[in-house]
Chain A
Amino acid sequence: MMGASESDHRVTEYRDVSFAYPEAKPALSKVDLGISRGEVVLVLGGSSSGKSTLLRCANGLVPHASGGTFSGTVTTAGRSTLELKPRDFADVVGLVQQDPEAHFVVDEVERDIAFALENLGMDQSEMRRRVEEILDALDIAHLRHRSPATLSGGEKQRCAIAGALASGPDLLVLDEPTSQLDPQGADDVLAAIGRLNTDLGVTVIIAEHRLERAGSLADCAVMMAEGRITQCGKPADVIASYPGAPPVTHLGLLLGWDPLPLTVRDALIAARSQPLTLKPAPRTTAEVSRGDVLVAARGVDVALGGSKAISDISLELAQGEVLAVMGRNGAGKTTLLKALAGLATPARGSVEAAVRCAYVPQDPNSLLFSATVRKELEETLRLLRRPDDGSVDGWLASLGINDLADRHPRALSGGERQRVAIAAVAVGGAPVLLLDEPTRGIDAPSRDALEIAIREHAATGGAVAIATHDVELAARCATRVAILAEGEMVAEGDARKILAGSLFAPQVLRVLPPFMTVGDVKTALGQ
Chain B
Amino acid sequence: MPLGGGKSQCGTRHVSDTQLPDGLRRVPWLADLSTCTSRDRSAGSAYSCGSAPDSHRLPPFGRSQPTEPHTTSGLRVTADAFDIRPMPDNSSTIDTRSTWPAQVWLAWAVSAAAVIQLAPSPVYVALVIALSWLIAELFGRQSGMALAYPVILTIGASLALVRVLIAAATAHGSGAVIFTTPSFTVPRVLGGFTVGGAVDSTVVATAGAEAFAILGIIAVFAAFNTAVSHYELIQSAPRAFHELGVVVVLAVAIVPSTVMAITAANEATRARTGGSQLRRRRLLHLTLPVLETGLERATGLAESMDSRGFARRSASRSDALSAWLGLGALILAGCALIALVGSAQLAAAGLFTSALAALIGAVAAASAGSKRTLYRPRRLTHLDWIVIALVVLAPIGMAVAAGLDLAGASSLRWPKASLTWPEFAPLPALLHLLLLAPLLALARGNR
Contact = CB atoms under 8 A, between A and B. Distances in A.
Q: Contact size class for B?
A: 35 or more
A268 B309 CA distance: 47
Contacts of A87: 306-312
Contact of A116 (B14, B87, B96, B309): B309
A120 B289 contact: no
A108 B305 CA distance: 16
A358 interface: yes
A119 B307 CA distance: 11
B271 A358 contact: yes
Nearest to A500: B9
Contacts of B12: 491, 501
Interface string B295-329: 01100111111111111110000000000000000
Interface residues of A, number: 127
Contact of B43 (A108, A186, A265, A488): A265
A38 interface: no
A329 B147 CA distance: 22
B57 A101 contact: no
Interface string A489-522: 0110100011111111111001001000000000
Interface string A121-162: 111100110010000000100110111111010110000000
A85 to B, nearest CB: 7
B97 A108 contact: yes
Contacts of B427: none
A209 to B, nearest CB: 11
B195 interface: no
Given A86-B303, A90-B309, A111 B375 contact: yes
Contacts of A94: 307
Interface in A211-235: 212-213
Given A107-B144, A485-B80, A506-B51, A497 B11 contact: yes
A86 B57 contact: no
A274 B117 CA distance: 85
A105 interface: yes
Contacts, number: 328
A129 to B, nearest CB: 11
A486 B292 contact: no
A127 B373 CA distance: 9
A517 to B, nearest CB: 11
B284 interface: yes
B390 to A, nearest CB: 27
A368 B289 contact: yes
A183 B373 contact: no
A191 interface: yes
B447 to A, nearest CB: 14
B274 A428 contact: yes
B180 interface: no
Nearest to A509: B37
A341 to B, nearest CB: 6
Interface stretch (A19-27, A277-285, A464-472): A464-472
19 contacts: A61-B306, A87-B306, A89-B307, A90-B308, A95-B304, A101-B300, A103-B301, A121-B372, A128-B376, A139-B61, A145-B95, A154-B58, A187-B56, A212-B49, A366-B264, A367-B271, A369-B288, A502-B9, A503-B37
Given A59-B307, A502-B8, 9 more contacts: A97-B304, A120-B309, A124-B375, A128-B375, A183-B56, A188-B58, A330-B86, A383-B272, A501-B10
